Structure 1
Amino acid sequence: MTDKKNEDYVVQMGNDNYDKNEKPSFQARSPPPAAYGSSPLGLIKVLAPFDSDRARKWFPISLLLVGMIYTSTKSLQFLSVPVYTIFKNLTIIVIAYGEVLWFGGSVTPLALLSFGLMVLSSIVAAWADIQSAINGDFGTADSAAAVSTLNAGYAWMGMNVFCSAAYVLGMRKVIKKMNFKDWDTMYYNNLLTIPVLVVCSLLTEDWSAYNFSRNFPEDTRNKIIIGMIYSGLAAIFISYCSAWCIRVTSSTTYSMVGALNKLPIAISGLVFFSAPVTFGSVSAIFLGFISGLVYAWSRVRQSMSSGGSLPTVRPTMSASAKSNRDANS
């Protein structure tokens, strides 16, 4: 399935000569030096020195992050951008019930309704995708091969949902147990992914001069490297904001905000990647948007019923009280 129409519809990243880990590993190297470089300048005042015991306890979280990145890349190899985005929302349901088991959270009827809408949007998206494959919208007459490609994508998507949910829930658990500051979370998260990505890249990717020139064409090499540095530096603030959001709200709210951010990406997939614009695909995106609004309303209702404010900050608690609470959880 290498014809031009299919390449426009699916983000093709399946070529063995393409270094899938090379660019993420390069980007992961930017935040730790930048964070340490900002500390003496006073831009980051609360970054603690490197602690091997903390790093050992955080390392499984970094492994899950790498797994999330890799399975995400493999999913996009077989699925279109809109379908990938819609199925990614299923992670929220797994995280919500993970919070019930690990952190004593609760799921309100409105939240259940939003989860049901998410599942419905995923079913509609899968139906629309399979119909497009059977009808030849993938650009191939072999519908069986097209459906087989989709099945592989759904399998990778299932693994991505597991890795994403385990990563977010595990990160919140370790942040609470280790009393990590937001900058500490960003620093260890990016630092510990570097050796994993580098080792995986050296073992599995082609580092020949030909492949390097293929991934970094000479006429655009400088622009690509500068863009990677910019995106790596932007990862500092993304990691910081992610850690802050998980710490002061909940893993489910963090995931829902991320899902709402991805809906414009799903729409852009229809516009820029020539994905078939069908009633099913548009309906799936619309249902995903409605599910996000329903969940946001459920959080507002839950906050109002408890007599508190919107879930933006948690009450201040002493270190000893936090330790006692975490020990009992």
Structure 2
Amino acid sequence: MSTTRDQASAILCYCLSSILMTVTNKVVLASYNFNMLFLVLAMQSSCSVLLLTIFSRLNLLTHRKLTAYDAKRWFPITIALVLMIYTGGKAVKYMAISLFTVFKNLTIILIAYGEVKFFKGSPVTPMILGSFCLLILSSVIAGWSDISSGNVIKKGQEDVGIIVPYFWMAANCFTSAFFGLYFRAKIKEFEFKDFDTIYYNSLLSVPVLGVCSLLFEGQAFADSYARFVSPGADSGQLLGLVISITISSLSAFAISYGISWCIRVTSSTTYSMVGALNKLPISISGMIFFSEPVTFGSVSGIFLAFIGGLFYAYAKQLQSQAQQAFKLPRERG
């Protein structure tokens, strides 16, 4: 049985590692314009496997050894993870980021009711549902200028049909919900520890991500080679890119541990809620380090999302107290 301290530590670990990886990935993919997401993810997974192997050899940790039986059972989770990442990347490519955030936050509601229906999770109380609505409202306010003007499609992608961004967004919502719910169910069924899940997720995802990179990133590879490696390329740019990818790979190991720990000791809904609230410090860091515009809508959205997070934490605390109070008379009886 997990304690409140364990839950708080897991959430903090997930938050810090998620923020670090998001910022470093933004540096790699945006600042350096390195458009090979699958390759970056494959390198991050490879780094996690390497670190686990080194730490295991030094007797600093242990993890379950790879077996064909466990790999076959765990592989659907790896596929769900890759699909979640791929559909998210596609949705962000075609849809304005403000509208993407609104729909992404709807995933929390899917996961919350999915836990109740399929896994007999804690019921969604009116107060918890209210916290979800506050979070969605915060993203609507932050992106109201795009939403009100009908800017659904991201600038530079206007040649695609209106159905395309909505298709990828819906696919991302459902794959994200499926991953969160399925992961929580299987981690208990297989009795995997946190380092076991990191090892299997990372090791099994490397060939999948590598094949995806070969299939979909051929042109991006040619462009990146010309800019970073070919004669006449700026060596300082290449060094900065390598350092950024290294840091993001190390943070990927931390976030893999944080996700596993957070889902195991809390719930899929809390994990999803924490992921949504991570946008607060990420948005603030974007305003500070990436010169993103500071508007009344963006600041108001951040404040309202913070209130929604506090509201959710308070609602979960009341729910936990009510459940404990219900259990005590039954145990005495």
Q: TM-score over 0.5 for the alignment?
A: yes
Q: Which moved more, 1:269-278 or 1:236-245?
A: 269-278
Match of 2:93 in 1: 77
Shift of 1:110: 0.9
Residues 16-66 of structure 1, C-alpha deviation per residue, up to 9 Å, x if partnerless?
993232222122211112101211201113x12111111111111111111
Find the residue that maps to 2:314 and give its secondary structure. helix
Instruction: Rate the CA distance shift 1:183–1:139 in 2: closer, same or farther, 3 A.
Output: closer
Find the residue that maps to 1:77 and give its secondary structure. helix
TM-score of the superposition, structure 1-length normalised?
0.76
Residues 260-305 of structure 1, C-alpha deviation per residue, up to 9 Å, x if partnerless?
2222223444555565555444433333222211111111111122
Shift of 1:122: 4.2
Distance 1:186 1:12 in 2: 24
Distance 1:271 1:82 in 2: 19
1:188 equivalent to 2:205? Answer: no
Aligned residues: 288
Instruction: Rate the CA distance shift 1:19–1:35 in 2: closer, same or farther, 3 A.
Output: same
The answer to whether the 8 A contact 2:142-2:301 is kept is yes
AA paired with 2:47?
S
Shift of 1:121: 3.2
1:250 equivalent to 2:267? Answer: yes
**What is the CA RMSD across the aligned residues, in angstroms?**
3.2
1:37 equivalent to 2:54? Answer: yes
The answer to whether the 8 A contact 1:85-1:265 is kept is no
Percent sequence identity over aligned pairs: 47
Q: How does 1:154-233 map to 2 (within 5 A)?
A: 154-206=166-218, 210-214=223-227, 218-233=235-250
Distance 2:296 2:110 in 1: 28
Match of 1:61 in 2: 77
Instruction: Rate the CA distance shift 1:149–1:44 in 2: closer, same or farther, 3 A.
Output: farther
Match of 2:329 in 1: none
Residues 147-195 of structure 1, C-alpha deviation per residue, up to 9 Å, x if partnerless?
x788754443332221211111111111111111111011111111111
Match of 1:300 in 2: 317
AA paired with 2:76?
P
Instruction: Rate the CA distance shift 1:281–1:173 in 2: closer, same or farther, 3 A.
Output: same
1:112 equivalent to 2:112? Answer: no
Distance 2:201 2:101 in 1: 24
Find the residue that maps to 1:157 and give its secondary structure. helix
Match of 2:106 in 1: 90
Distance 1:188 1:96 in 2: 26
Distance 2:67 2:249 in 1: 23
The answer to whether the 8 A contact 1:61-1:167 is kept is yes
Shift of 1:74: 2.3
Distance 1:213 1:263 in 2: 36
Distance 1:284 1:176 in 2: 36
The answer to whether the 8 A contact 2:98-2:146 is kept is no
The answer to whether the 8 A contact 1:90-1:161 is kept is yes
The answer to whether the 8 A contact 1:91-1:165 is kept is yes
The answer to whether the 8 A contact 1:17-1:205 is kept is no
Distance 1:275 1:49 in 2: 45
Find the residue that maps to 1:180 and give its secondary structure. coil
Shift of 1:86: 4.6
Match of 2:20 in 1: none
Structure 2, unmatched stretches of 5+, are 1-27, 326-333
Shift of 1:259: 1.7
The answer to whether the 8 A contact 2:277-2:306 is kept is yes
Greater helix share, structure number: 2
The answer to whether the 8 A contact 2:78-2:204 is kept is yes
Q: How does 1:244-283 map to 2 (within 5 A)?
A: 244-270=261-287, 277-283=294-300
From 121, 128, 132, the counterpart of 2:145: 128
Match of 2:117 in 1: 101
